[in-house]
Structure 1
Amino acid sequence: MTEFRLIPPSEYRQYYEVLHEGYQSVKQYPISFDAADTDEAEAKEWLSNHPTYGLYEETVLVSAVSLRMPWGNLPGPSGVPHIGRIVTHPNYKGRGYAKKLFHQLEQEVLIQQLRTPRVTLGTASTHPWLKKMYEQLGFEAFDQVQLPNKQHVTIYFEKNYKGE
């Protein structure tokens, strides 16, 4: 049985474990995702500042996703919620957890609670499979930017919810 819910700052160790282990695979590419180098203190601070949702199998956090809000200290590029730090612990990859987490985030938070007309996310142009995954989830690329201190070009995607 899986449970979708907001991850409280008190669960930062579980969140850190998923984030740390889940992002290790990107270190083999010329990509600089901040999440790949987050420590426990930063994970706790992140949970205090950004709504982060988890998918739990029993009591174990298996997948997580964060929202960077337009009024927060790290807004996205378009004045709407920005999805970030989508991650699944490697022990649970290939079971559809990230996709299920993403769909629940969309329905329960973005559409029903926030009633946002659209959402954005960004990823490295050089990542071998994320661009295709986001397109399969209904996102469309709208910009490419070389952000300061990043090894990669960031592709920004958006998904519109008008009519849903």
Structure 2
Amino acid sequence: MDFSRVTDFKDIQQLTNLLHRAYQADEKLQIHFKAANITDEQVRQHVQTTPTFAIKSNDRIVATASVRLPWSTNPGPFDLPHLGWIATDPEFQHQGLAKKIIQFVIDDFAIQQLSAPAISLGTAVEHPWLQAAYRSLGFKQVDTVRMFSDHQTVFMIKVLNDQAIKTVNDTYLQSVI
């Protein structure tokens, strides 16, 4: 299996299909994440503006995660890189691929390339196992907000540099850590 950044637009339809398949389990839970019904064009635009990573097996994308950057047109809630679109193809679940791609993105992108003091993510409070999975990777819950009618969002942060996180000029972040 190979880790890579998605930059080739020939992968867009494959990535869209993966997101649709992976997020159907959330739809069954009545949790409606935008990725469950996203279009190829929206994925193409996202990949153009948001670092998106994949694990491939035999040229097939089997897991993905993207990083919304604080200075982008679609930043996360804090002045930090924010993980999104964390998804594994249902045929490849229960192999630890989501954990592997998250760790790859943290180690090779957030730490090595961005020198980020922390990284955040959000998930549905109502999801039965995602919070526990993210806690097992070192993420800690910092806030819960109602952004959508069908679920509450829990924001979680993994601190990568204890000293640097204290210097981030973000009032919201400083109020929750």
Pair in the same fold by TM > 0.5: yes
Task: State the TM-score, normalizing by the size of structure 1.
Answer: 0.94
User: Aligned runs of 1:90-101 on 2, under 5 Å?
Assistant: 90-101=90-101
1:108 counterpart = 2:108: yes
Mean Cα displacement is larger for which, 109-118 or 21-30? 21-30
The answer as to whether partners of 1:30 and 1:126 remain within 8 angstroms in 2 is: no
Identity of aligned residues (%): 32
Match of 1:74 in 2: 74
Secondary structure of the residue that 1:31 maps to in structure 2?
A: coil
Kept after mapping to 2: 8 A contact 1:9/1:44: no
What does residue range 51-66 of structure 1 map to in structure 2 within 5 Å? 51-66=51-66
1:114-125 equivalences under 5 Å are 114-125=114-125
Cα contact 1:31–1:150 (8 A) shared by 2? no
**Distance in structure 2 (CA, Å) of the matches to 1:91 and 1:150:** 30
Asked if 2 retains the 8 angstrom alpha-carbon contact of 1:4 and 1:56, the reply is: yes
Match of 2:170 in 1: none
Distance 1:41 1:34 in 2: 14
Post-superposition shift, 1:58? 2.5
The answer (yes or no) to whether the contact 1:18–1:62 under 8 Å persists in 2 is yes
Higher relative contact order (CA 8 A, sep 6+): 1
What is the match of residue 15 of structure 1?
Answer: 15
The runs of 5 or more residues in structure 2 that have no matched partner are: 163-177
Q: Distance in 2 between matches of 1:70 and 1:51?
A: 12
Determine helix, strand or coil for the equivalent of 2:133. helix
CA distance in structure 2 between the partners assigned to 1:8 and 1:63 by the alignment: 15
Q: Cα 1:150–1:52, aligned 2, differ >3 Å: closer, same or farther?
A: farther
- Inter-partner Cα distance in structure 1 for 2:31 and 2:74: 20
Cα distance between partner residues in 2 of 1:31 and 1:20 = 13
- Whether contact under 8 Å (1:9, 1:48) holds in the other structure is no
Moved more, 108-117 or 9-18: 9-18
Structure 1 residue matching 2:108: 3-state secondary structure? helix
Q: Which runs of 4+ in 1 moved over 2 A?
A: none
Write the deviation string for residues 113-139 of structure 1: whole angstroms up to 9, x where unpaired. 111000100000000110110111100
Note the C-alpha offset of 1:65: 0.1
Partner of 2:45: 45
In the superposition, the TM-score normalised over structure 2's length comes to 0.87
CA distance in 2, matches of 1:150, 1:7: 32
The amino acid that maps onto 2:33 is F
Aligned to 1:120, the other structure's residue is in SS state: strand
Take 1:74 and 1:43, find their aligned partners in 2: how far apart are those partners?
A: 13
1:118–1:162 Cα contact (<8 Å) kept:
yes
Residue-pair matches, total: 161
